[in-house]
Amino acid sequence: MLNQDDLKLIEAKGITESTIDAQLKRFAAGFPALKIEAVATVENGIVRLDDKKATQCLRLWKEFTGTIEKFVPASGAASRMFKDLFAFVNSGRNEPSTPFEEAFFAHIKNFAFFPLLNKACVELYSKNIDDLMADKRHADVARALLDAKGLNYGALPKGLLKFHRAAGGSVHTPVEEHLEEGAQYAADRNRRVNLHFTVSPEHRREFEKLLAAKVPFMQKVWGVTYNVTMSEQKASTDTIAVNTDNTPYRDANGNLLFRPAGHGALIENLNERDADVIFVKNIDNVVPSRLRNVTTRYKKLIAGYLVYLQREIAKNLRRLDAGNVSEADLKAMLAFVERDLFTHSPATATMSSEELAAYLRRKLNRPIRVCGMVRNEGEPGGGPYLAYNPDGSYSPQVLEAAQINPDDARAVEMMNSGTHFNPVDLVCYIKDYKGEKFDLKQFVDPDTGLISNKSKDGVEIKALELPGLWNGSMSDWNTVFVEVPIETFNPVKTVNDLLRPQHQ
């Protein structure tokens, strides 16, 4: 099936023939739907911290002396953010007619990028935005925003776009907001902030230029030292595209097509980081500094809860190492696993002491993540569930709708009754109780990826996504959900989201 040119291509990408074969088999077999025990709710999979516990967590984080890093997936282009404007430009119309288009142009002066866009319009058309709109040339304004001759926002990543007006008349990109956030909750005892961005190769230089310009100033403002690093999604994680009959798709020149495998591929990048605690947060979930107090407080709070869990887990594992653990000790450990980690297995009822000790060691000695969960107010995103694992136990998992069997009425009912959803607000502990790094690739569930339908040059094709970073790629972690307020979640999925009050 693979010719010599194919073999050269996959070798250059670092992909093996066996990997290609496994992907083709996955297209044919699909991914199994996950079995769900329950939707996670407060007190049944989601922790709601009272004032006393919150105070304890904030103190634990303040006293934490380990290494800290903030990990920001920032490699995706912002093209989807502007899909409505692309549709407008491609429609041949010159004036807005949809509610989205009308809102964009009615409030265009409220966007932080307006001065730059106005300047681009003058340079391109010798008219400012007001004059162009008076002449019913709204499409030209949109082109100035999207096209390479203008601001090129249709091709740039979100991290480099002007999102917010800031103090002193300056304008901030998401990169700058993450720099400030890092100083506010992820600085170590020496006021050092480790910040890592995953970027696309074609945009890396622009990120470097922005950071070189902004980091020295922000270090003075916030009294910190930044250590900013970057990595790129590995070509070896790309997946082959297929036709609708699951045979490899080939373009007009007979070449195979490979596609980035989604954010799940970033488990490779995360696995290369060397910190005790790592915050994971999407590039577009940022607010101006005036609204950041709630975000900062809850980041510290869930980080402190992570520290609490890690210490309890380490204490139990050391006790198991010491041996001669009594039956009462084992029962206390099992109670912790069930109460604090929400991990249950019917099989524990009939286990011998030796079997229970081995089970507890397996469940305790894993990477840990605490995930903030917000009340469901209709925003898109995965949801928190108690889902079954391959060993028959069930535990907290973040699931997307596509992972749930649409023919399972009970599962669909649970999905529709969910009270919370996942805003990608994670704090992770990636070292074991002895201080050694886990190999995070050993904790991925390969049965939790996604197959989606795409189009290439007018041909319908199928694409394969690896298990998502906060879905299947962290499936075998110890996962705990903590309720956080909706104010901590402010994504920018479309350009008009920047018109929301929290981004003004």
- The answer to whether residue 276 scores a pLDDT higher than 90 is yes
Read off the pLDDT of each residue in 51-60 and give the average, rounded to a whole number: 97
Identify whether 382 is part of a domain.
no
Identify whether 325 is part of a domain.
no
DSSP secondary structure string for all residues of 181-236: HHHHHSB-TTSEEEEEEEE-GGGHHHHHHHHHHHHHHHHHHHT-EEEEEEEE--GG
CATH number at residue 433: 3.90.550.10
Give SS3 for 437: strand
Q: Are residues 292 and 182 in the same domain?
A: yes
Rounding to the nearest 10 degrees, give the CA dihedral for residues 24, 27, 28, 29: 120
Identify whether 63 is part of a domain.
yes
Strand-pair category, 45-47 with 68-73:
unpaired
- Residue owning tokens 């929400």: 342
Q: Are residues 64 and 103 in the same domain?
A: no
- The answer to whether residue 490 scores a pLDDT higher than 60 is yes
Q: Which residue, 146, 167, 195, sits at the end of a domain?
A: 146
Which tens digits make up the pLDDT trace of 114-160?
Answer: 999 999 999 999 999 999 999 999 999 999 999 999 999 999 999 99
Give SS3 for 91: coil
Q: Residue 266: its pLDDT value, please?
A: 93
Identify whether 126 is part of a domain.
yes
Q: Which residue, 99, 122, 146, sits at the end of a domain?
A: 146
- The answer to whether residue 62 scores a pLDDT higher than 70 is yes
Q: Which residue range(s) make up the domain with 258?
A: 4-78+178-306+422-503
Which of 295, 236, 265 lies closest to 471 in space, CA to CA?
265
- Residue 354, CA distances (Å) to 159, 320, 323, 359, 360 in order: 51, 11, 11, 9, 10
For the chain, the average pLDDT equals 93
Q: Give the pLDDT band (50/70/90) at residue 381.
A: low
- The answer to whether residue 246 scores a pLDDT higher than 80 is yes
Q: Are residues 458 and 488 in the same domain?
A: yes
Q: Residue 311: its pLDDT value, please?
A: 98
Identify whether 254 is part of a domain.
yes
Q: Residue 380: its pLDDT value, please?
A: 53
Report the distance separating Cα 444 and Cα 425, nearest Å.
Answer: 19
Q: Residue 178: its pLDDT value, please?
A: 97
CA angle 302, 199, 168 (to 5 degrees): 70
Q: Are residues 71 and 118 in the same domain?
A: no
Identify whether 114 is part of a domain.
yes
CA angle 194, 296, 477 (to 5 degrees): 65
Q: Are residues 72 and 194 in the same domain?
A: yes
Please say whether the dihedral angle defined by the alpha carbons of residues 175, 180, 183 and 185, taken in this order, is positive or negative: negative
Q: Which two tokens stand for residue 319?
A: 């006790």
Give SS3 for 28: helix
Q: Are residues 69 and 200 in the same domain?
A: yes
Q: Which of 18-22, 200-204, 409-413 has the lowest mean pLDDT?
A: 409-413
Q: Are residues 54 and 200 in the same domain?
A: yes
Q: Are residues 458 and 481 in the same domain?
A: yes
Q: Which residue, 130, 146, 162, sits at the end of a domain?
A: 146
DSSP code of residue 481: E
Q: Are residues 140 and 276 in the same domain?
A: no
- What contacts 24+ positions apart, CB below 8 Å, involve 15-21? 15/235, 15/236, 15/238, 15/258, 20/240
Q: Residue 323: its pLDDT value, please?
A: 87
Report the distance separating Cα 450 and Cα 22, nearest Å.
Answer: 14
Query: Which position has the higher pLDDT, 6 or 285?
Result: 285
pTM for the whole thing? 0.93
Q: Are residues 196 and 285 in the same domain?
A: yes
Domains in the chain, number: 2
Q: Are residues 85 and 49 in the same domain?
A: no
Which tens digits make up the pLDDT trace of 454-483?
Answer: 888 788 999 998 888 888 899 999 999 999
Q: Which of 92-106, 340-354, 456-470 has the lowest mean pLDDT?
A: 456-470
Q: Are residues 63 and 89 in the same domain?
A: no
Q: Give the pLDDT band (50/70/90) at residue 203.
A: very high
DSSP code of residue 15: -
Identify whether 318 is part of a domain.
no
Q: Residue 378: its pLDDT value, please?
A: 63
- Residue 256, CA distances (Å) to 247, 440, 464 in order: 11, 30, 14
- The answer to whether residue 22 scores a pLDDT higher than 70 is yes
- Residue 50, CA distances (Å) to 75, 294, 331, 372, 483 in order: 37, 16, 26, 15, 11
Q: Residue 319: its pLDDT value, please?
A: 96
- Burial (CB count within 10 angstroms: exposed 0-12, middle 13-18, buried 19+), residue 3: exposed
Q: Which two tokens stand for residue 228?
A: 């900013």
Report the distance separating Cα 132 and Cα 352, nearest Å.
Answer: 78
Q: Residue 206: its pLDDT value, please?
A: 95
Q: Residue 379: its pLDDT value, please?
A: 59
DSSP code of residue 475: T
Identify whether 258 is part of a domain.
yes
pLDDT more than 90, % of the chain? 79
Which tens digits make up the pLDDT trace of 27-37?
Answer: 999 988 889 99
The partner residues of 227 in beta bridges, in order of sequence, read 194
